Structure 1
Amino acid sequence: MYAKQNLEMRIWRVLLRLSAELHDFGYVQAIDATGMDRIGASQHYAKRTNYTFEAVKTTLLSDCKTGSTLDIHCSMKQPHDSKIGWQMVKRNLDKLNILTAYKGYDWWLLRKRLRAEGVKPVIKHPECGWHGIANNLLRDDTISHQRSNAESTFFALRRKYGEIVRARTWFGQFRELVLKCAVRNIELSVSHS
């Protein structure tokens, strides 16, 4: 177990990227975040290590055509979705055409950056005024509704590998989630061939 944790996160990302490249990507990608539950620690361990988080905030970038995971971001803090979204998009610009997401990713600067990179954002606007309502009416609903594919990926990961992340250390938990996504990508590739 210790040897796996000695590998840097960038090496795990390469494994995930290679497993994702087994698929022919579609034109629409989706991004979403959720909390993956951590295994419960003993009271003694929790006090000794200041173990206070019950979930790892996990953000997935998935392809809507194949259901494969292109990238994953894990955090013990609760950063805003739009900030993580841009970080993930920067790493995957060569694979993105249209990005669909929930309103947590509604940040004008994220939209502007996506458009500048040639990626069409399909993200719901807040409906606090006529401008947001008008923009939401102009959205392509067939593309917008594909954002639920990221939720489906989370559901499939939980159903196949369990609800709980079992590694004890936070970096081990991140690597465990990346490994689960890579294995799922490979399984999807085998089942589609």
Structure 2
Amino acid sequence: MLQEIYTELLKQYTDNKQHINECWKEIEAAYSSSSRHYHNLSHLENLVTQLSACRHDISDWNTILFSVFYHDIVYSVLNKDNEEKSAVLAEKRLITLSVPSVQIEKCKAQIIATKAHQSSNDPDTNLFTDADLSILGHSWSLYEHYYMQIRQEYSIYPDLVYNPGRKKVLHHFLQMERIYKTMPFYDKYELQARENLKRELDCMC
């Protein structure tokens, strides 16, 4: 599904099949790394599914798809600038595809927005970051699987180091007035997300 969506997206900007294939292979390799347990192709599939459900609310579908595919292309638990590096790489690739600069800048901004998931003046960006957090509001069994996958990604750190950082992340979301900025995601996930976050905190005590 993902390869087909990505290929059809790029065909709108270039007819160079070899370049399209090379771009896809880069994405596939990055998100299929053995160190990725959550930030992988399944995560991208979930994002596409979540955003497709509210596509009628999205003004620039192509840009948001670019953001989906590139927002975690650079991901290392050792770095604190994954979003910035992902945005830079996205810009480089989109330039080679002759994507208009307005779309490139918007894509970069959407990728950077996933760093803190704060409210944006751009409705598309809010939908994108909400979709990125949709896992927080799923059933406890799915959420539990998610946070265990995150723990696997940070397996190089002992609990003594990992737990304080994870608690800080959980408190960050719980202290938000709203985790989800848009009504489609707020109505569907807000209450369950808060329950899940609190329950994970309880499990760490």
Question: TM (normalized to structure 1)?
Answer: 0.28
Higher helix share: 2
Normalized per residue, the structure richer in strand is 1
